[in-house]
Structure 1
Amino acid sequence: MPALVLVEIEIHNPELYEEYKKHTLGTIQKFGGRFVVRGSKTESLEGDWNPERLVILEFPDVQTAKDWWASPEYTIAKNIRYQAANSKMLVVESQ
């Protein structure tokens, strides 16, 4: 069953975040993932939720998404993201 990874990001170092983005695409593709949403404009319909940046990824399944997140390749990018932004990330099974 496909899995989605939802990421809410608050960038505090835009230049370093651009470096993170350069390292990420190849890691996602290596695990059969793809971008569904990548920083598009958001509009809150309910509640107090208005993320600065929202990214949604799709992977073949939850385990593959978790393997991507824990991979050595993505860890390099992830460490850059930790320096450039605050973020929250979820994985969820899709229909």
Structure 2
Amino acid sequence: MAALLIGNVGTLGDPEAMAEYRAKVGSTLALHGGGFVIRNGTFEVLEGIWRPDHLSVMGFPSAEQAHRWYRSPEYREIVPLRAGTHMDLILVEGQAV
């Protein structure tokens, strides 16, 4: 089953460190079969109260591969670059249609 990671970056810690994180994260995704579907996408709230700040969607062939990426040494190495930055990240798995 396909898997999507939906991320929202809120309040930034160090903008320069986050710029470095953003420059490096794509290559860590690719190592595990993933990549950006939408990066910094614009959005319109049609229902509810969720108001993301900086929304991205990443795709993986499976939730297992998404988990491998999230736990990988390559990704863990760049996580400290986002220190002080608020981030929400959810994993959604389902059948692609």
Q: Post-superposition, which runs of at least 4 consecutive aligned residues in structure 1 deviate over 6 A?
A: none
The CA RMSD over aligned residues, in Å, is 1.2
Per the normalisation by structure 2, the TM-score is 0.89
The answer (yes or no) to whether the contact 1:11–1:17 under 8 Å persists in 2 is no
Q: Does 1:88 align with 2:80?
A: no
Point out where structure 1 has 5 or more consecutive residues left out of the alignment: none
- Do residues 26 (structure 1) and 2 (structure 2) align? no
> Normalization by structure 1: what TM-score?
0.90
In the alignment, structure 1 residue 72 sits paired with structure 2 residue 76: no
Aligned partner letter, 1:43: E
Count, aligned residues: 94
CA shift for structure 1 position 84: 4.8
SS of 1:85 mapped into structure 2: coil
Greater helix fraction, Structure 1 or Structure 2: 1
SS of structure 1 residue aligned to 2:51:
coil
Stretches of structure 2 lacking an aligned partner (at least 5 in a row): none
Q: Percent sequence identity over matched residues?
A: 34
